[in-house]
Structures are given as structure tokens and as C-alpha cells.
Structure 1
Amino acid sequence: MALNYHQLHIFYTVAQRGSFSAAAQALHMTQPAVTMQIQSLEDYFGTKLLVRSTKKIDLTEAGQTLLPFARQSVELIRETEQAMSRHTSMLEGRLQLGSSLTIGEYVLPRLLGPFGQRYPHISIVMKVINTTQIIEEIMNHQLNFGLVEAPVQHPDMVSEPVMEDELKLIVPAGHPLSGRKSVTVEEAVHYPFVLREKGSGTRQVMEDEMRRRGVDISQIRTVMELGSTGAVKSAVEAGIGITIISPSSVKHEQALGLLDVLDIEGLSFKRMFYSIHLKSTLLPVPAVTFLTFLREYPQST
């Protein structure tokens, strides 16, 4: 019998999950099948790898020795699939992913067309939901992966940067600042602001950068706080105030001449978008291909 990656992946998942039943659920296998593969691996090495009890599973000394090599094999396969995905065009499959609001409504739609042209046989089903719901559905194997606006700290999740975004100052057409490429922060805070609600990722990025540059947040005269980017855009377009949000969300309004996008001199509101998926589950090749496409597609398009 030869050592194979499948058995190492199962062993790694059992060690991470702490039980055969949890590993079987994560791997979409029956518990007896998982047990059989572990026994085969133990027969191959001629030693016990796991100590089984009614409550939990512990690694033997041999199991602890094997664990880092099993982890490396899982990571190497992931890296291999990512590297090779860009060379494969005749992929087929169905992706089920979750996306947070800004990414799902304003960033991904402009990328799905080019991706579909390059990979016409991959179908995508996307749910636009909040990060908590995305995590829950990934854990329940209802989604392959998710795209979110901040790294996720979860013991069962891998969180990796995928795309960069940068917030800008948005003003309505006809505003005293419109038509300019950039303004000073002192000029910007002279006008009322319409902002996302406190606690939103967009609001956090804005406030963190201003504090980092020594700007007093209390100088900002916030006349309205709204729970969605769409509502913020509408309020700015109506002349209620100006805002700081992603230019990706106002491309249409900018093209129609309804809103202007400006830089604030000395401030850079950059942030990353992240992919999340289960540590114990290898992403299907179409999913790896999609994430590789997002990383490499021109950000300015």
C-alpha cells in the first residue's frame, strides 16, 4: 500500500475537528469510511496515530509527528491548485458563495461578466448576506466560500486577502467641491457628512485613517447615519451631505454626472476584501480559479 494525500487530508481533518463524526461531516463522508482510512494509515506506518476515547480524540506521539507534514500536504495541494487554475479554461462546475453587501452589490457584478466569458461552463450562485450569516452557511456546507470586507477570526476558517479597495470622498454634482480632483481634509470637514452606521467596515476604515493622520473625528458634522451604501448614495445625490465610500459603488452615478469622486490630500482609505472557507475542506478547483481571477483582474476596470 502506498501513502496517499487523501488519507493525510482525512487524518488532518480528524485532528483538527477532534472527532471522527465531526471530520466525516466536514469531509462529506460516512464515519465508518473515515475510520477505515485512518486505520489504513496506521497500518501503513505500523503505529497508532490517535488515541480514541468516548469524549475526544488525542494524538499519539507518532500522530503529533505526522500532523505538521499532513498540514503541509494540504497547504501544498491548495497552492498547487491555485497556481494551475490560471492555465485551465475548460472548467465546469457550480459555485455557491456568500458575499457581504458592498462586494456583492457593487464590486462583483462588474467582474462576473469577464469571468463568465473566460470560464463559460462555471455557474455561480451568490448570496448577498452579512458576515455572520456567511460563516454560518459555510459551516453548514451550504456555501463553498465567502467574500467579506474584513478578516474573520474563527478557529475553523481560513481568511485570505483577495482584492484591494480604496474609499474616496463623494460629493453631489453642483457641490462647491465638485469638479476638483482633490481637496484638503480641512475643506472636506467644512461640509455636512452622510455616513454609514457606526460599526460598519466602511465607517471603521474612514475613522481609523483619519485618527492615524491626527484628524479630530469630532470635527466631522454628521447629519445622517444610514445602514446601507445605497441609502448613503441617494442622500448624497439629494444634496443632504457628502460622504466617504467605495468608488466602486458610484460608477453608474459618476458616469451620469450625478456624483463626483475626489481624493482627500494626505489620506489613503485603503482596505482589503477577504475570502473565507473551512480549514478542513479543500476548495473545488472552480472556486480556486474564481479567487485567482479576482486577485489578478485589473482593479481599475
Structure 2
Amino acid sequence: MALNFHQLHTFYTVAERGSFSAAAQVLHMTQPAVTMQIQGLEEYFGTKLLHRSTKKIELSEAGQTLLPYARKAIELMRETDLSMSRYTHMLEGRLLLGASLTIGEYVLPRLLGPFSKQYPHISIMMKVMNTTQILEYIENHQLNFGLIEAPIHHPDMVIEPVMEDELKLIVSAQHPLAAFDQVDLEEVITYPFVLREKGSGTRQVMEEQFIAKKLDPNTIHTVMELGSTGAVKSAVEEGFGITMLSPSSVKHEIALGLLKMINIRDASFKRQFFSIHLKSTLLPISAVTFLEFMKQQKLVV
């Protein structure tokens, strides 16, 4: 009997999850199938790798020795898929991904066309939802991966930057600031703001930069908090206030002359978009290829 990667992956998942049932759920296997894989690995090495009890799973000394090698094997497989993704142009498959609002509504639609031309046999099913929902769907294996606008800390997730974005000051074409291409932050904060709701990735980036500039975000005159970028744009267009948004989300309105994008001279509102997926799950090579494609793109207005 030869050692195989599937057995190592199963062992690693059981060790990480702490139970056969949890590992079975993650791996989409039955619990007896997980047990069979572990038994096969123990037969191959001729030693017990796990001590089973009714309450928990504990690694034997041999299991503790094997665990870092299993982890390295999984990392090497991920690196292999990453390296080979640049050569694979006849991929087939169906990707299920979740994207937060700005990415899903304004960034990805421009990338899906070029990606589909390059990889016509990969179909993409995308759900636009908030970060909490994306995490829940990934944990329940309803999505392969997610794309979010702000970093999170989750013990079961791999989180990687895939694309850089930068928020810009957005005003209506009739606003007094529209006469300028650059303004100072001290002047910007004297005007009323229309903002996304608290907790949104866009607002988080803006508030973090304000804090870095020794400004209390709570002192900003916020006249409206709205739950979508579209609603924020409409309110700004009507002159209710100014806002900070990704240039990707206002390209159409700027082209029509309805909104004006302005640089803030003494502040930078750069941010990363991130991909997230379960540590215990190996992404299909089609997903790896899609994420690599994203990393090669630049956002322009």
C-alpha cells in the first residue's frame, strides 16, 4: 500500500478539527470513510496516530510527528496548483463564490468578461452579501471562497490579499469642492457626509485613516447612513452631502458628469480586497486560477 495525499489531508483535518464527525463534515465524507482513511494511514506507518475517546481525539507521539509533514504536504499542493494555474487554459468547472457589495457589484462584473474569454469552460456563480454571510456560507460549504473588502481574523480561514483599491472623495457636480482636483482633509471634514452603514468595509477604511490623522470619526457631521453604495451615490448626487467611495463604483456617474472624484492631498485611503476560504479545504485549480487572474488586474476609472 502506498502513502497518498488524500489520507494525509484527512489526517490533518481530523487533527485540526478534533473529531471524526467534524472532519467528515468539512471533507464531505461519511464518518466511516474518514475512519477508513485514518486506519489506512496507521496501517501504512504501522503505528497509532490518534487516541480516540468518547470526548475527544488526541494525537499520539507518532501523530504529533506526522502533523507538520501533513501540513507541509497540503501547503505544497496549494503551491503546485498556484504555479500550474498560469499554464492551464482548458479548465472546466463551476465556481461558487461570495463577494461583498463593492466587489460584487462594481469590480467583478468588469473582470468576469475577460476571464470568461480566457477560460470559457469555467462557469461562475456569485452571491453578493456581507462578510458575515460569506463566512457562514463558506463554513457550511455552500461557497468555494469569498471576496471581502476588509481583513478579518478567523482561526479556520485562509485570508489573502488579491487586489488593491483606494477610496476617493466623491461630491456632486454642483458641490463647492467640485471646482478643485485636490483638497485638504481639514477642509473636507467641514462638510456634511453621506456614509455607508457602520461595519461596512468602505466605512471602516475611511474611519481608520481619520483616526491615523488624529481625527475622531464620531465628530464627522453625518447626515445619512445608508445600506448600499447605490443609495449613497444617489444622495450625494442630490446634494445631501459628500462621501468616500471606490472609484470603481462611480465610473458611470463620473462619465455622465453627475459626480466628481477629488484627491485628498494629505491622506491616503488605500485598502486591499481579500480572498477567504477554509484552511482545511483545498481550492479547485479553477478557483486558484481565478484568484491569480484577479491579482493581475488593476482597478482604473
User: What band does the TM-score fall into relative to the shorter chain?
Assistant: over 0.9
Q: CA deviation at 1:213?
A: 1.8
- Deviations, residues 149-208 of structure 1 (Å, cap 9, x unaligned): 222322222111111111100011122222432111122223222112223221221111
State how 1:100-179 maps to structure 2 within 5 Å. 100-179=100-179
Greater shift, 229-238 or 29-38, is seen at: 29-38
Asked whether the 8 Å contact 1:160–1:275 carries over to 2, the reply is: yes
- Deviations, residues 19-68 of structure 1 (Å, cap 9, x unaligned): 11221221122222221221111111111100011121110011011101
What is the root-mean-square deviation of aligned Cα atoms in Å? 1.5
Aligned partner of 1:227 in structure 2 is 227
Q: How many residues align?
A: 301
Aligned partner of 2:75 in structure 1 is 75
Q: CA deviation at 1:267?
A: 0.4
Aligned partner of 2:84 in structure 1 is 84
Asked whether the 8 Å contact 2:247–2:300 carries over to 1, the reply is: no
Asked whether the 8 Å contact 2:163–2:297 carries over to 1, the reply is: no
Distance in 1 (alpha carbons) for counterparts of 2:83 and 2:298: 18
Greater shift, 111-120 or 223-232, is seen at: 223-232
- C-alpha change, 1:94 and 1:21, in structure 2 (3 Å) is same
Asked whether the 8 Å contact 1:189–1:219 carries over to 2, the reply is: no
State how 1:20-99 maps to structure 2 within 5 Å. 20-99=20-99
Q: CA deviation at 1:126?
A: 0.5
Q: CA deviation at 1:216?
A: 4.7
- Deviations, residues 74-100 of structure 1 (Å, cap 9, x unaligned): 011111101211211110000011111
Distance in 2 (alpha carbons) for counterparts of 1:86 and 1:140: 30
Distance in 1 (alpha carbons) for counterparts of 2:211 and 2:36: 57
State how 1:134-283 maps to structure 2 within 5 Å. 134-217=134-217, 220-283=220-283
Asked whether the 8 Å contact 1:152–1:276 carries over to 2, the reply is: no
Q: Which amino acid aligns with 2:101?
A: L
TM-score by length of 1: 0.95
Greater shift, 252-261 or 221-230, is seen at: 221-230
Residue segments in structure 2 that go unaligned for 5+ positions in a row: none
- C-alpha change, 1:198 and 1:298, in structure 2 (3 Å) is closer
Aligned-residue sequence identity (percent) comes to 73
- C-alpha change, 1:131 and 1:216, in structure 2 (3 Å) is closer
TM-score by length of 2: 0.95
